[in-house]
Amino acid sequence: MAGWTEEHVPHVTEGCLAVVTGANTGLGLATTRVLAQRGATVVMACRNQEKAGAARRSLIDRGIAPARLRTASLDLADQSSITALAEELADDRIDLLINNAGLMAVPESRTVDGFETQFGVNHLGHMALTLRLLPRLNATPGARVVTLTSMGHRLGRIRLDDPNFRRGRYNRWTAYFQSKLANMLFAAELARRNAGRGALSMAAHPGYAATELGKDTGMQARALSVFDKVAAQPASAGAWPTLRAATDPTALNGTLYGPRRLVFGTAVPETPSRTALQEDLAVRLWDLSLHLLSPAKVTDPLA
């Protein structure tokens, strides 16, 4: 099949449980809607529970059964919150983990655990969550992990000696591109390390979709909002690569999906950047990330 839209998403097995981070808006909300419509129970893992509740009600108003939608608290900038969510889901089978939540080009700041915020949330937060849930994913036949990256991964480089920007001048876009390359490298390394153990690992990027991502400051928000009206596809279309990675029965471990025309279009397999294909870099990032996460007692279940 050349290209996917949400119309190609098959109905899932009864009892399928999907965890979607950042499910209250944009791509996460669109992904949640389609998965729930196709029969999955979706855990909407969000930082802001008021917004999560409102998003859940909006989906119920569109005809989705309330039992298909659960909300859960998750702050990816706080390792204790990630641990708490993993413990909350301890008795659940997990078929899909959609690492969707993220930040784009935010001003310099630190997570609760002291990481540069974009690296800490986009990469380290999702890596910690994935590793904590991986035993349950591997115990569930057909399970998958889908990690959201960006076209921006092609511009990224990993600052192995200073990933948290402790030295030198901070640049919000440099930090963002690093985090998105880290997402791509993590998804690829997870696919290699977990091969034959159970869950598949795929990556997806939405092209250019109209979401709230990156709209944190006045001038930037206004500029992006204007450009969205001219060039962006809706969030529902931006979610197609995620949905294909999550549900295409022919998907292969380690695949990256994106829009056919780079920034818009149906979901197709895509070739990552040359940097993202460097296995030695992926290994070094994996080891560095585990070291950074060790104070939070994040361990590697594949070691």
Six-digit token pair at 133? 């849930």
Q: Which helix (H) or strand (E) covers residue 131, if one does? A: helix 126-138
Burial class of residue 94, CB neighbours in 10 A (0-12, 13-18, 19+): buried
SS3 at position 44: strand
> Could you say which of 170, 176, 208, 257 is catalytic?
176
Of the candidates 124, 82, 87, 86, the residue with the CA atom closest to the CA atom of residue 102: 124
Q: Where are the alpha helices (DSSP H) in 38-125?
A: 49-61, 79-88, 117-118
* CA gap 220, 223 in Å, rounded: 5
Q: Answer yes or no: are the C-beta atoms of 267 and 257 closer than 8 Å.
A: yes
Alpha-carbon dihedral angle through residues 231, 204, 69, 62, given to the nearest 10 degrees:
30
Spell out the long-range contacts of 170-173 with Cβ–Cβ below 8 A and sequence spacing 24 or more. 170/108, 170/116, 172/105, 172/106, 172/107, 172/108, 172/118, 173/105
Q: Does 208 participate in catalysis according to the annotation? A: no
Beta strands in 126-230 (DSSP E): 144-148, 200-204, 209-210
Other Cβ atoms closer than 10 A to 230: 6
Question: Which residues are marked as active site?
Answer: 176
